[in-house]
């Protein structure tokens, strides 16, 4: 889930051929007694974010003249597969920026160096405990949290006010009622939901007190009564008055954001990675017009959203000199000073409380998402968890288009999960 802006000419200056980006075993240079060059794969948005991460890397080099950083920006959408391939054969980077959902899987395969007690993680208590937890696998910490995010209800305060609505909805039923009122009073669509995207559907499951699977008990729960209730509610978000019909085209995300940014839809579910782009929209010339609230709650009365973000990780296949340099780089990139710099430049949320300076929290978008972070639920320690979104996304898309019934769609997801998790019961 990243900003959807095409790479500009600036990317050419940042990126180099992946074939030339080896770890210590395939191209990185230096020794324990001389200059060391580490390769870093940065998976942030090439246009909005990567230049600021490269600026940090240059600051690190200035402070550490014996370490050079080969900065490579890798498109997020292809980064997981490229990392998997590189670490499984050759050409892996010494250090990289990983989605939090990839950490357990990479650790299970032995690709990551444990960071407990290393210079990369001198004080785990400096970070939010739930973020450290989801950087761990089988009792060891394999990543240092760099940025965090979650999903929230983003809404256009002016449109809500025009419709006579003074507070954001706290339940899905209230959201549907508000959407109908906004459409009736203003003529603008009240709400648009991402269709056919398993990640964006997670608040519906959490709101019913369930998940796609029960990891501790090794049980597939996607067909449970609570999951059925969640998907029925999800389905209703595309058919209720004032809500937008499902868009499953390849440009659906861009369509949704264009509509919201320019005042053509009053509310969406999304994360802080879009703050910068939202502020550039015609509806948010006044930044205070952007409302940020927790995702609505389900029948349990509790709201819940997935925790996203990125961890800094070190490749286990690099030699000792490169691992040591990479660990030092990780500590620098995740320091309070570096996180504050990135928050101010990229509008992202730090992972450590001491990075939330007065200047950072003066950003209304960051402050808004900081307030709803307590509703974020960490990923379970399941290497296959990120892969669960593939089948759920495909079949939820079919359900909301009327191509599958709710039960048939959930049965299809359960069948896919049984293949992916053969040790789990239904």
Domain borders along the chain are 9-149+309-377, 152-306+381-420
- Do the Cβ atoms of 228 and 413 come closer than 8 Å? no
pLDDT value at residue 2: 41
Is the fold of 9-149+309-377 the same as that of 152-306+381-420?
yes
Cβ atoms within 10 Å of 368's Cβ, excluding its own: 17
Contacts of 149 (CB under 8 A, 6+ apart): 1, 271, 272, 273, 307, 308, 309, 348, 349, 369
pLDDT value at residue 25: 41
Cβ atoms within 10 Å of 27's Cβ, excluding its own: 15
CA-to-CA distance for 313 and 424, rounded, in angstroms? 29
pTM (2 decimals)?
0.87
pLDDT digit string (tens) for the chain, length 426 residues: 443 333 333 333 333 333 334 444 444 455 446 689 999 999 999 988 999 999 999 999 999 999 999 999 999 989 999 999 999 998 999 999 999 999 999 999 999 999 999 999 999 999 999 999 999 999 999 999 999 999 999 999 999 999 999 999 999 999 999 999 999 999 999 999 999 999 999 999 999 999 999 999 999 999 999 999 999 999 999 999 999 999 999 999 999 999 999 999 999 999 999 998 999 999 999 999 999 999 999 999 999 999 999 999 999 999 999 999 999 999 999 999 999 999 999 999 999 999 999 999 999 999 999 999 988 998 899 999 999 999 999 999 999 999 999 999 999 999 999 999 999 998
Give residue for tokens 């080896």: 22
The domain 9-149+309-377: what is its CATH number? 3.40.190.10
Burial class of residue 106 in the structure, from the number of CB atoms within 10 Å of its CB (0-12 exposed, 13-18 middle, 19+ buried):
buried
Give residue for tokens 């296959």: 384
CA-to-CA distance for 122 and 139, rounded, in angstroms? 17
Look up residue 214 and give its two tokens. Answer: 């029960």
pLDDT value at residue 352: 96
pLDDT value at residue 21: 40
Q: Where are the beta strands (DSSP E) in 108-248?
A: 136-137, 140-141, 144-150, 152-156, 213-214, 219-220
- The architecture CATH gives domain 152-306+381-420: 3-Layer(aba) Sandwich (3.40)
CA distances from 89 to 23, 27, 92, 140, 185 (A): 11, 14, 8, 24, 60
């Amino acid at each position: 889930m990243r900003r959807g802006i095409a790479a500009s000419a600036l990317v050419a200056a940042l990126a180099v051929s992946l074939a030339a980006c080896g770890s210590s075993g395939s191209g990185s240079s230096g020794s324990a007694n001389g200059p060391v060059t580490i390769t870093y794969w940065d998976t942030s948005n090439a246009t909005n974010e990567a230049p600021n991460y490269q600026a940090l890397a240059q600051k690190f080099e200035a402070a550490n003249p014996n370490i050079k950083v080969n900065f490579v920006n890798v498109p997020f959408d292809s980064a997981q597969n490229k990392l998997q391939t590189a670490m499984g054969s050759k050409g892996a980077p010494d250090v990289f920026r990983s989605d939090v959902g990839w950490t357990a899987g990479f650790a299970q395969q032995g690709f990551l160096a444990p960071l407990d007690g290393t210079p990369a993680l001198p004080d785990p208590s400096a970070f939010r405990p739930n973020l450290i937890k989801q950087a761990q696998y089988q009792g060891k910490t394999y990543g240092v949290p760099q940025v965090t995010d979650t999903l929230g209800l983003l809404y256009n305060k002016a449109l809500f006010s025009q419709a006579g609505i003074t507070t954001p909805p706290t339940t899905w039923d209230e959201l549907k009622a508000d959407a109908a009122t906004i459409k009736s009073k203003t003529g603008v669509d009240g709400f648009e939901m991402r269709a056919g995207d398993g990640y964006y559907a997670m608040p519906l499951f959490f709101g019913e007190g369930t998940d796609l699977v029960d990891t501790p008990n090794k049980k597939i729960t996607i067909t449970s009564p609570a999951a059925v209730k969640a998907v029925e509610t999800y389905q209703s978000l595309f058919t209720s008055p004032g809500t937008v019909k499902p868009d499953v085209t390849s440009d659906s995300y861009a369509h949704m954001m264009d509509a919201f940014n320019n005042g053509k839809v009053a509310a969406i579910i999304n994360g802080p990675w879009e703050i910068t782009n939202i502020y550039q929209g015609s509806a948010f010339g006044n930044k205070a017009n952007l409302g940020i609230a927790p995702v609505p709650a389900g029948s349990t009365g509790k709201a819940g959203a997935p925790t996203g973000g990125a961890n800094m990780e070190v490749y286990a296949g690099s030699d000792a000199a490169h691992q040591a340099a990479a660990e030092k780089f990780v500590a620098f990139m995740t320091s309070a000073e570096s996180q504050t710099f990135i928050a101010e430049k990229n509008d992202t949320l730090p992972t450590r409380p001491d990075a939330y300076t007065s200047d950072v929290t003066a950003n209304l978008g960051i402050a808004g998402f900081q307030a709803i972070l307590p509703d974020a639920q960490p990923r379970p320690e399941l290497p296959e968890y990120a892969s669960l979104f593939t089948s759920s996304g495909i079949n939820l898309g079919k359900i909301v288009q009327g191509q599958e019934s709710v039960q048939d769609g959930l049965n299809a997801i359960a069948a896919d999960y049984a293949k992916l998790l053969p040790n789990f019961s239904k």
